Every structure is written in C-alpha cells, then in structure tokens.
Amino acid sequence: MRRLDGKVALVTGASRGIGLAVAQRLVDEGARVCLTARKPEALDAAVAKLGGPDVAIAVPGKADDPAHQAEAVATTIGHFGSLDILVNNTGVNPAYGPLIDADLAAVRKTFEVNVVAALAWVREAHKAWFRDHGGAVVNVASVAGLRPAAGIGAYGASKAALIHLTQQLADELGPGIRVNAVAPAVVKTVFASALYEGREEQVAAQYPMARLGVPDDIAGAVAFLASADASWITGHTLVVDGGLTLKGGV
C-alpha cells in the first residue's frame, strides 16, 4: 500500500528506534521525509538507510531549540516543496524514581521537550504550511500518560499533558488539520531498555500478546493516523500496547 504518495513528512527524534521505524514506514508508503535528532552522524546513517536525498533529508539539532525547529521546517519545505505530516516523536526521561523526590530541573526539562517542544513544532509547521494547506500531526505519547507508572512519574505526567495537548489542538485546528496521538507500552528500543533489559520474559508475561512491542508496531499505527484512511479521526489517542492496559498495567 502506498497511501502516502506525494506526501512530505517531518519526523522528530528519528535517527533510531520508533522515529526511524516511522520514517521507514512513511517512505515505504510513498512519502518523502525530513528527520531530526541531535547527532549528525546517526542522522546521516538513517538517511542512507532510507534511500538518500531523493526520499530523505536530515536536519540535526535539539528538539526544544526554536531555531532548530524553524530551520527543519523551512528546509523540509525548501527541499521537498511542501509539509503534509508532522510526527512529534522526540521524548526524554531524565528523572527516574518517586516523583516526590524528583529533581525539579529534570522535571522541567521533561516537560520542555515532551510537551512544550511538541506544541512549538506544531506552531512552526502551522505558520509555515499547515495554516494555508492543511496537514496531519501525530504525537507519540505513552500508556504512562494514561495511568500512574512506577518510577517514571514525570515522564508519565508529561505524556498525559501531551495527550491533552493533542485533543486541544485537534479542537482548535480542525477541519483542515488533524491532530492525533499514539500511546505505546514498552517498545524494545535503546530509550526503553531500562524497563526490560535482563528480564524481558518476565515483563512480556504481563501482556496478553505475550511480547513487548517493536518499533514497527508503532510505525504502522502512526502511518495509519497520518493517512487519508484516518481522514475522519482527530483528537484521538490510539493505544498500541499489546493489551497491557486491559490488565491494568503500564
């Protein structure tokens, strides 16, 4: 299926893991993509993996840097001629442990990257393209934003805010712009490795599907929400969790 022929996407945090899998899926479905992340070398490798500058480019920088946001959006439009899809995938989790004891600087950074930067990316895309041409936004949230999650309270609170931000923007920006989110459970990535390394079988036993997620599981959901197949869906958070929340877990 090439549901995204002719579309152009910008995917943040896309040098590896979920972001790279999303970019790959979008390219496979016909889109051209701009990737962002902090490390130029990792981005260069990702662009090569996706097929080179005919289908993929990269703009390195920090997700919460306004100058980087403006550069990435402008470069995407300048290189590919449009911007139809924004995937806010960048996330950080510098605070682990009880929220009551968390370093407040780390909590602020979590919200700055996971929430405020996501809004800023939407605003930049809106100003440069979406306002006049429409578009689709997909935010990568987490099941930790749906209910309390031991040890990652700041992260979960930021993802709850991102889920609400998704609904708020969907209400404000329709009908021309759709805004949705996905909420994964544990996905086998470097980012989430502390949640399962050395005990994957034990963690997976909590899931009705009896396995942890892989990046491609999330990529398919993002591609669907970005495509015309989801043209009457906005303000929704699609839970992609192998059934974990059915059992009351996060």
155 is catalytic: yes
Closest CA to 31 of 63, 54, 60: 54
DSSP code string of 173-189: HTTTEEEEEEEE--BSS
- 1 CB-near residues (< 8 Å, 6+ apart): 29
Closest CA to 181 of 86, 249, 248, 246: 86
DSSP code string of 50-109: HTSTTTEEEEES-TT-HHHHHHHHHHHHHHHS---EEEE--------B-GGG--HHHHHH
242 touches 185 (CB < 8 A): yes
191 touches 144 (CB < 8 A): no
Catalytic residue among 96, 155, 196, 207: 155
Q: How many CB atoms neighbour CB 246 within 10 A?
A: 11
14 touches 36 (CB < 8 A): yes
Tokens of 112: 């700055």
Q: Which residues are catalytic?
A: 155
